[in-house]
Structure 1
Amino acid sequence: MKRCLLFNLFVMIFNMALGQHYKYIDSSKVMGLKSYQQEIKEHPDSRLVEIKKYIPEIVLDIRYATTNNFTHHRMYPQARAFARLPVVMALKDVEADLKTRGLGLKIYDAYRPYTITEKFYEVTPDTNFVADPRKGSKHNRGCAIDLSLVDLKTGKELDMPTGFDGFSRKAGANYPDLPQQKIVNRELLKSVMQAHGFKVIATEWWHYDFNGWANYPLLDIPFSAI
């Protein structure tokens, strides 16, 4: 307990020294680069890793590295996807499971720096579909993945209730008034993800949180520093 308190105090002092300020949250609750580097020295298994390096066959469609997203702006400098190592190892099991069914995963988003969460909220302050920056996002912890299913033979996405970031009631994880095949595809994704340690959120069929997310702090680390 003392060690934890001292570490949190160190993070707060370090962020204050940097002049690191956020509009919606106390800076001590968001881990910057130096604090993160110290953390992974002590706990290397908690580090952020690039998903493609561990699962080469996974498909990436990183929308926030393009203008094809709800902000209509390029939010990421690179089309890359990162997550905490245990999250990526669980995704590797998901991909292997799906492969036996002739399917694979397509990722739209994974780790997201905290400052991007602030920007999303300022574009669309609807916390049904964007994270409340006063709390932060599981994406900021490296413990959330936005994804869908693809057919390995055709490379095409399976038909889902809405497109990615389809901000409507139809995007709900249990919305019932849909064509049967869309429900079947959504439920297949849900069952496989849940079997390997993920939980879908109620408002977005594509968003899955890793069950151990509470063990990881919010991060504001640029992709270039990972």
Structure 2
Amino acid sequence: MMRMRGPAPALRALIALAVAGAALVAAAPPAARAVSEPKAPEEFVALSSVDPTILHEMRYTAAHNFVGEPIDGYHRPVCIVTRPTARALRKAQRTLLRRGHSLKVYDCYRPQRAVDHFVRWAEDLGDERMKKEFYPQVDKSRLFADGYIAAKSGHSRGSTVDLTLVPLPAVKTRPYVPGEPLVPCHAPQSERFPDNSADMGTGFDCFDTLSHTEDPRIQGVQRANRQLLKDTLAGVGFVNLPEEWWHFTHKPELFPDTYFDFPVSRRSLS
């Protein structure tokens, strides 16, 4: 009887490797699933889909802000707000266009993870890379006590916006270069970082009492610009935060008690 030969040594080695590989695959844990991000309720929209003429300079998507880096949750430079807020902004924009101005938004809906990022930054007293521009006269240890940073933000409810006026035709704002020399946000407009907005007396997100909408030291054209912004928005249902000339909330809010955490991205919208 003829005796069957086993596989050649090289073939036996390949078989052994295949068996071992199969065992490793079988023993490996299942691949991690992609994290599913929360979605916005259907009442939220991109502002540009309601009024494409309103200008955008979404500061927290990039590094030109008081933290000095892109903020958690801002995946794209898109302004997301509740539908009534967007419609009210469209009405305000129509009024302002007739007066030779446009609205420009700096921030709109803000996810809770972004607010958490602000809190972590504020607790790190050693990180003062943007102090010279955004809080030159405020000790960083005072940011919570003075109300500049908080654990919750009305922006996370979807009806609050930070915005300004831009004279038309709008001049393009140059890009911020990380590490460039900083100028205090309360300096004369000609000295501050070039922004195409109307002169409001301070830059956006200036942690200073000069940012109070009715601060008596703000007079002339600067006061007139603040008043035009405030009056126009009040006429369509917005209420100004007295400590920040740029901060407005549309009333009544659709979600007065809910703080959302879906990311700022068109993918978040229904």
Q: TM-score range by the shorter chain?
A: 0.7 to 0.9
In structure 2, the residue corresponding to 1:204 is in which secondary structure? coil
Residue in structure 2 matching 1:141, options 157, 160, 169: 157
SS in structure 1 of the partner of residue 224 of structure 2 = helix
Q: Which 4+ runs in 1 deviate beyond 3 A?
A: none
Residue 101 of structure 2 is aligned to residue 74 of structure 1? no
Query: In structure 1, the residue corresponding to 2:115 is in which secondary structure?
Result: helix
Q: How many corresponding residue pairs?
A: 183
Equivalence for 2:48: 52
Unaligned runs of 5+ in 2: 1-36, 123-142, 172-195
Letter in 2 for 1:91: L
1:100 aligned onto 2:143 = no
Cα offset for 1:120?
1.0
Higher relative contact order at CA 8 Å, sep ≥6: structure 1 or structure 2? 2
**SS of residue paired to 1:213:** coil
Q: 1 CA distance for matches of 2:147 and 2:242?
A: 9
Structure (1 or 2) with the larger CA radius of gyration: 2
8 Å CA contact 2:158, 2:255 repeated in 1: no
CA distance in structure 1 between the aligned counterparts of 2:198 and 2:204, rounded to whole angstroms: 12
Larger fraction in helix: 1
Does structure 2 retain, via aligned residues, the 8 Å contact 1:138–1:213?
A: no
> Could you tell me which residue of structure 1 aligns to residue 57 of structure 2?
61
Q: Distance in 2 between matches of 1:33 and 1:199?
A: 29
SS in structure 1 opposite 2:163? strand
Partner of 2:109: 111
**Superposition RMSD on alpha carbons, in Å?**
1.7
Tell me if structure 2 keeps the 8 A contact 1:129–1:203: no
Pair 1:206-2:246 in alignment: yes
**Residues 129, 204 of structure 1: 8 Å contact kept:** no
Alpha-carbon distance between aligned partners in 2 of 1:199 and 1:70, rounded to the nearest angstrom: 24
Instruction: Give the TM-score of the pair, scaled to structure 1.
Output: 0.76
Provide the C-alpha distance between the structure 2 equivalents of 1:93 and 1:86, rounded to a whole number of angstroms: 11
- State whether residues 190 and 200 of structure 1, in contact with CA within 8 Å, keep that contact through their aligned partners in structure 2: yes
Q: Does 1:129 align with 2:148?
A: yes
d(CA) in 1 for partners of 2:77 and 2:238?
Answer: 23
Identity over the aligned pairs, expressed in percent? 29
TM superposition shift of 1:184? 0.6
Partner of 2:217: 177
Code of the residue aligned with 1:102 in structure 2: it is: G
Gaps of 5+ in 1: 1-31
**C-alpha contact 2:201 2:218 (8 A) present in aligned 1:** yes
Q: What is the rounded CA distance, in whole Å, between the counterparts of 1:123 and 1:165 in structure 2?
A: 15
Paired with 2:239 and 2:252, the residues of 1 have a C-alpha distance of: 10
Q: Is the 8 A contact 2:82 2:254 kept in 1?
A: no
Q: Which residue of 2 aligns with 1:218?
A: 259
1:214 CA drift (Å): 6.3
Distance 1:58 1:106 in 2: 6
How far residue 147 of structure 1 moved from its aligned partner, in angstroms, is 0.2
- What is the CA–CA distance in structure 1 between the aligned matches of 2:170 and 2:164, rounded to whole Å? 15
Q: Is the CA contact 1:104–1:149 (under 8 Å) kept in the aligned structure 2?
A: yes
